[in-house]
Amino acid sequence: MSPTEEDLAVIEEELSLHRLAVEDAVHDHQRPKLDRYDTHLFLAAYAVSLDENTGQLSKTEVKAFITGHALITVHGPQFDMDRVVARWDRDPALAKHGVAFLLWGLLDEIVDGYFDTVQQLDSAMESLEDALFDDRPRDKEVQRRSFEFRKSLVELRRVVLPMREVVNTVLRRDLDAIDPEMAPYFQDVYDHVLRATEWTESLRDLVSTILDTNLSIQSNRMNLIMKKVTSWAAIIAVPTAITGFFGQNLAFAGFGTAWGLWMSVVLIIGVSGLLYLGFKRRDWI
């Protein structure tokens, strides 16, 4: 639980841990990796969770020293180690494989967390698509949440992508700390990492498509509004032009007569009506 370098000094000497591995264990922001030393392996990984209300991704660093006889985990209080212990308890028959079994349970729990997070993001994307085509425009909400999901997916990719190399390194046959009989279980974890990576990549493409589609919908909506405004402006221009013509202080056909007034009224109604019907037929109004 968030030990300091001094706290690890005791087990460093007892288990012959490498000094660089101990430094990596107490310093944050490590890249997911599996380093190999003469006496042990050092694992750095991230457990993730998603806040569905804000779309924000939370990451918790999990480090571990893997020796031939022990697995020592280093993590903060945000990581629920009880879930890992429960996973170990569900498969007691595999406990005979020792440290390999413990490492598999830890990696499997972390990778399953990736799947849960990606699934949450996928469900959130579906609701975002519904908002995209809502009859009531929700452009600001769609744009804001799209950027939130895009940021979370970028962070998730940085966590998930390197885990392929981590698990692939575990599968190497020359690691004495790993029981070969556990290889199929680690292969299953590796397959899950690949699926989580592919799913993350597809969601990144999807959120980019949603952003582009939202911009296109806004543009189409603006074009429709401009068509309607222009159509009504053209209709309103007819009575303006006609009344302006008949309002001249010059003699013209029908000047100062009742039939001239009625002619102007008929022209206003007739031309405006024709324009309205023409625009309506073209769905401009």
Please check whether residues 191 and 235 belong to one and the same domain: no
Please check whether residues 158 and 58 belong to one and the same domain: yes
User: Mean pLDDT throughout 208-237?
Assistant: 82
Please check whether residues 11 and 80 belong to one and the same domain: yes
Nearest to 109 by CA among 96, 91, 122: 91
Alpha carbons 53 and 39: distance in angstroms, whole number:
45
User: Mean pLDDT throughout 200-207?
Assistant: 89
Please check whether residues 151 and 184 belong to one and the same domain: yes
Structural domain of residue 271, as residue ranges?
222-281
Looking at residue 236, the DSSP 8-state letter turns out to be H
Please check whether residues 209 and 269 belong to one and the same domain: no
Q: What is the pLDDT of residues 3-45, one digit of tens each?
A: 666 767 778 777 888 888 888 888 888 899 999 888 889 999 9
Q: Report the CATH number at residue 209.
A: 1.20.58.340
Tokens standing for residue 186: 């680690």
Q: What is the pLDDT of residues 146-181, one digit of tens each?
A: 888 888 899 999 999 999 999 988 887 666 657 778
Helix, strand, coil percentages (3-state) for the chain, rounded to 5, are 65, 10, 25
Strand order in the sheet with 33-36: 33-36, 41-51, 56-66, 71-75
Please check whether residues 59 and 154 belong to one and the same domain: yes
Please check whether residues 152 and 231 belong to one and the same domain: no
Q: What is the pLDDT of residues 238-269, one digit of tens each?
A: 887 777 766 666 566 666 677 676 777 788 78
Average pLDDT, the chain: 84
Domain boundary among 193, 221, 249: 221
Please check whether residues 74 and 64 belong to one and the same domain: yes
Q: What is the pLDDT of residues 99-144, one digit of tens each?
A: 889 999 999 999 999 989 999 998 888 888 777 777 777 777 888 8
- The total number of structural domains in the chain stands at 2
State how far the alpha carbon of 135 is from the alpha carbons of 138, 140, 220, 223, 228, in Å: 9, 14, 14, 17, 18
The residue count for the chain: 285
